[in-house]
């Protein structure tokens, strides 16, 4: 009996009856089309993809009073999160009140952290920095300070030093779990050398909400205040009002992130992050930082105001969408995109009053083709960018395959020496169509043809 791609039911039965090889039956299965639709899902152990829509799920409340979990610091929120985590997930509803954090709040998978609007505030203590008194090696879980300061058991800290081997920066985030006077024990080993030759310090710096290696988390309707006036700067690769590392499928909605001496929201190597209707403002560094390697971020209808930069696409951020955002009065750039950030779309954003440049395609170095290629700017409005030498859009380096379509670039101040679009002499395949420009001394400065 021959076997072909036109097997009928009769011939299939015959094949089975004749004992055809399993490999041939597998070929038939591949030709049979899609699997059946799941129309009546059940809660099945180990199946995280399909289950019924439940009318009531686990919810606990957190508040300064009259709640399931009562308190006024990070521990009460953390305790509620751990409770719902143990039961497989659920909602922690933070009631109106202020919660002062001495450590980050760590988010487990499958939880929803729901505030009660701007009256639910997470904030942090003033930061303090003290130098180490003794050397600590990479395998140690302890360190000794010159003075104990106000560090307490349970506090979140960052230990920083100059790497004694290569001169680079060492940054270690840990929690203090025990102490004897000026000697402190950590929750995890250092795994880096903190030698006095590198001037090591300990600081009470941490993100306010954070997570690592988790998935399926919702953060909604809450305010996070970084107490910027009383805190040192903390690099956005390690901290922020919200800082995520190696996470998937996060949804951040109606969240205010403000006054952090660093980034408002930063996520690194995180995939399918949705940030909608958020307000990230008055942070020292970035309003939102889609970080290295993050795939498919969606940033929609956010207000990114008075940060150093509104949106900073970091390294290798791909297939993202920034849509309908209001990006105002950021001190450097409204949007910055660069190192291997490819195949992203920036659509219908309003970008105004940027300190230097409205949209910057960065000049990257160190590799053959590290540029922000194959990105699209569509129907954005870019207003009043930079000083008298400012640019609405600046395409630097060897950036290529950029589409700039139906954007409105406007300069309402005196035109001075301002330029609508500048294109580097090394850029290529820059497509521009149906854009309108008003009030510029130079609408397009194409250095490829000068």
The pLDDT tens digits of the residues spanning 342-397 come to 999 999 999 999 999 999 999 998 888 999 999 999 999 999 999 999 999 999 99
Residue indicated by tokens 């569509």: 378
pLDDT at position 27: 54
The arithmetic mean of pLDDT across residues 102-110, rounded, is 98
Mode of pairing for the β-strands spanning 169-180 and 183-186: antiparallel
Residue 165 has pLDDT above 90, yes or no: no
Using pLDDT thresholds of 50, 70 and 90, give the confidence band for residue 307. very high
CATH for 60-125+207-299 (3.90.1170.20, 3.30.70.1060, 2.160.20.10, 3.30.1490.190): 2.160.20.10
pLDDT at position 32: 63
Q: Helix, strand, or coil here: 82? A: helix
Say if 60-125+207-299 and 129-203 have the same CATH topology.
no
CA 101 – CA 79 distance, rounded (Å)? 13
Residue indicated by tokens 């809660």: 43
Q: How many other C-beta atoms can be found within 10 angstroms of the C-beta atom of residue 435? A: 21
Q: Helix, strand, or coil here: 355? A: coil
* Domain chopping of the chain, boundaries: 1-33, 60-125+207-299, 129-203, 308-450
Q: For residue range 192-223, list pLDDT tens digits in order.
A: 999 999 999 999 999 999 999 999 999 999 99
Q: For residue range 383-437, list pLDDT tens digits in order.
A: 999 999 999 999 999 999 999 999 999 999 987 899 999 999 999 999 999 999 9
Q: Helix, strand, or coil here: 210? A: strand
Residue 93 has pLDDT above 90, yes or no: yes
pLDDT at position 15: 46
The arithmetic mean of pLDDT across residues 55-61, rounded, is 95
Mode of pairing for the β-strands spanning 169-180 and 156-162: antiparallel
Q: Cα-flanking dihedrals φ and ψ of residue 86, to 5°?
A: -60, -30
Distances from the Cα of 379 to the Cαs of 338, 357, 406, 408, in angstroms?
21, 17, 5, 7
Q: Greater confidence, 15 or 58?
A: 58
CA 314 – CA 336 distance, rounded (Å)? 8
* Contacts of residue 182, Cβ cutoff 8 Å, sequence gap at least 6: 133, 144, 145, 146, 147, 148
Question: Kind and range of the H or E element at 25?
Answer: helix 22-30
Residue 257 contacts residue 234 (beta carbons within 8 Å): no
Architecture label for domain 129-203: Beta Barrel (2.40)
The arithmetic mean of pLDDT across residues 240-253, rounded, is 98
Name the residue among 134, 145, 129, 360 with its Cα closest to residue 234. 129
* Choice among 164-173, 176-185, 436-445 with the minimum mean pLDDT: 164-173
Which token pair is 324? 């309908």
Using pLDDT thresholds of 50, 70 and 90, give the confidence band for residue 33. confident
Using pLDDT thresholds of 50, 70 and 90, give the confidence band for residue 327. very high
Using pLDDT thresholds of 50, 70 and 90, give the confidence band for residue 125. very high
Q: H helices of 146-237, where?
A: none
Residue 5 has pLDDT above 50, yes or no: no
Q: Cα-flanking dihedrals φ and ψ of residue 402, to 5°?
A: -105, 135
Question: Kind and range of the H or E element at 92?
Answer: strand 90-94
Residue 164 contacts residue 130 (beta carbons within 8 Å): no
pLDDT at position 98: 98
Q: For residue range 13-30, list pLDDT tens digits in order.
A: 454 444 444 455 445 455
Q: % helix / strand / coil in the chain, to the nearest 5?
A: 10, 40, 50
């Amino acid at each position: 009996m021959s076997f072909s791609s036109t097997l009928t039911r009769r011939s299939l039965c015959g094949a089975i009856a004749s004992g055809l090889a399993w490999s041939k039956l597998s070929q038939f299965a591949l030709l049979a089309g899609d699997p059946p639709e799941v129309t009546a899902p059940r809660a099945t152990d180990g199946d995280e993809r399909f289950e019924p829509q439940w009318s009531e799920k686990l919810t606990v409340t957190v508040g300064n009073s009259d709640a399931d979990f009562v308190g006024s610091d990070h521990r009460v929120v953390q305790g509620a999160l751990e409770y719902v985590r143990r039961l497989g997930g659920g909602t922690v509803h933070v009631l109106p009140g202020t919660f002062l954090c001495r450590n980050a709040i760590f988010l487990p998978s499958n939880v929803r952290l729901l505030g009660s609007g701007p009256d639910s505030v997470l904030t942090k203590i003033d930061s303090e920095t003290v130098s180490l008194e003794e050397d600590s090696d990479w395998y140690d879980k302890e360190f000794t300070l010159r003075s104990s300061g106000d560090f307490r058991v349970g506090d979140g800290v960052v230990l920083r030093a100059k790497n004694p081997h290569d001169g680079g920066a060492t940054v270690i985030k840990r929690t203090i779990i025990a102490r004897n006077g000026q000697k402190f024990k950590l929750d995890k080993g250092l795994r880096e050398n903190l030698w006095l030759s590198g001037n090591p310090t300990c600081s009470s710096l941490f993100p306010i909400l954070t997570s690592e290696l988790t998935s399926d988390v919702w953060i909604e309707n809450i305010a996070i205040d970084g107490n910027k006036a009383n805190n040192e700067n903390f690099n956005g690769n390690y901290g922020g009002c919200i800082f995520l590392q190696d996470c998937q499928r996060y949804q951040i909605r109606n969240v205010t992130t403000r006054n952090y001496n660093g980034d408002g929201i930063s996520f690194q190597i995180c995939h399918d992050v949705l940030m909608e209707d958020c307000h990230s403002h008055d942070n020292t560094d970035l309003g939102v930082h889609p970080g290295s390697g993050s795939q498919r971020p969606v940033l929609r209808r956010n207000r990114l105001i008075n940060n150093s930069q509104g949106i900073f696409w970091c390294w290798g951020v791909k297939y993202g969408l920034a849509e309908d955002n209001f990006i105002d009065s950021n001190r450097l750039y409204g949007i910055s995109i660069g190192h291997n950030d490819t195949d992203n779309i920036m659509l219908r954003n309003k970008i105004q009053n940027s300190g230097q440049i409205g949209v910057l395609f960065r000049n990257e170095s160190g590799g053959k083709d590290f540029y922000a290629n194959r990105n699209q700017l569509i129907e954005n409005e870019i207003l009043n960018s930079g000083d008298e030498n400012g640019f609405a859009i600046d395409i630097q380096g060897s950036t290529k395959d950029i589409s700039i379509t139906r954007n409105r670039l406007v300069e309402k101040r005196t035109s001075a020496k301002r330029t609508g679009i500048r294109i580097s002499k090394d850029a290529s395949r820059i497509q521009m169509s149906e854009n309108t420009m008003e009030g510029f001394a130079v609408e397009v400065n194409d250095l490829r043809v000068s």
